[in-house]
Amino acid sequence: MRRLDISSISRAFAVFALVICLYSLFISSETEIKTQAIYWFCIALVSAVVPYLEEVVAYVQSIKLGDIEIALKEVKKEIQRVDDKVERLDDKLLISLGQVRQSEATLTKEARENRQRIYDESAQALALLPPDSKMNLQKRLTLNHLSDAGIDVQTLKDVLEKLGYYQGSIDQFFTPELVQAVEKFQSENIPGQPDGIIGPITLSKIAELHS
């Protein structure tokens, strides 16, 4: 009942203010009264709106709350999907690096020495190539070794970033920044001249440090 009374009073006052506004604007000849017409118009407008403010505010809030709830649900679903994907990738990476460590453990001392000699000779030959040819060879050999190990470039970048060697976009592109990260890793963890190629020696060391 109270809301009805307020609404009736507000409407009546709005009509009254509108009448005064029209009178001031079109009938009165005094300039000062005409100037006040705009104030009476504003009063009429506010009086007409007041009874509906509570309903309007409640409606707007319901819309916003509904949109927020929907958005939060979508965000939660997306976070869950990302978490599931990361968990699967981590499991796959651990399996791949575990296989690398097992393969490394089966090598004899003589096999390791021969591999290191070949690695040093390849690094020296690689250093003599023009930059473009060097980059292409690094890419081709790295992708071959990663494919054999079941690891992709994006995962490699992620691992090197976690180890503190790579800073850049985590994607599938083989970039100079990745080569620099590999060379830095090799210079700090592997004897000999770094070649920027992810081969068995580098992979085994990554597996050792990542475990």
CATH for 107-210 is: 1.10.101.10
What's residue 139's pLDDT? 93
| Geometric angle at alpha carbon 115, from 136 and 123, rounded to 5° | 35
The pLDDT of residue 179:
95
79-119: per-residue pLDDT in tens? 666 555 445 545 666 676 777 777 777 878 888 788 778 87
Return the structure tokens found at 48: 């007409």
34, 23 in Cβ contact below 8 A? no
- Domain range summary for the chain, segments of one domain joined by +: 2-59, 107-210
Q: Which residues contact 16 (CB under 8 A, 6 or more apart)?
A: 44
What's the CA gap between 198 and 146, in Å, rounded?
7
Q: What is the pLDDT of residue 21?
A: 61
Q: What is the pLDDT along the chain (211 residues), one digit of tens a residue?
A: 444 455 566 666 666 666 666 666 666 666 665 566 566 566 666 666 666 666 666 665 666 556 666 766 776 666 666 555 445 545 666 676 777 777 777 878 888 788 778 878 888 888 889 999 999 999 999 999 888 888 899 989 999 998 999 999 999 999 999 999 999 999 999 888 899 999 888 888 888 887 6
Buried b (16+ CB within 10 A) or exposed e, 116-141: eeebeebbeebeeeeeeebbebbbeb
The owner of tokens 């976070």 is: 79
What's the pLDDT at 137?
92
Q: Which amino acid belongs to residue 77?
A: K
Q: How far apart are CA 163 and CA 12, in angstroms?
A: 75
Asked if 107 and 115 touch (Cβ cutoff 8 Å), the reply is: yes
Q: Which two tokens stand for residue 84?
A: 């599931």
Please spell the DSSP secondary structure of the chain, one letter per residue. Answer: -HHHHHHHHHHHHHHHHHHHHHIIIII---HHHHHTHHHHHHHHHHHHHGGGHHHHHHHHHHHHHHHHHHHHHHHHHHHHHHHHHHHHHHHHHHHHHHHHHHHHHT--HHHHHHHHHHHHHHHHHHHTS-HHHHHHHHHHHHHHHHHHHT--HHHHHHHHHHTT---S--SS---HHHHHHHHHHHHHHSSS---S---HHHHHHHHHHH-
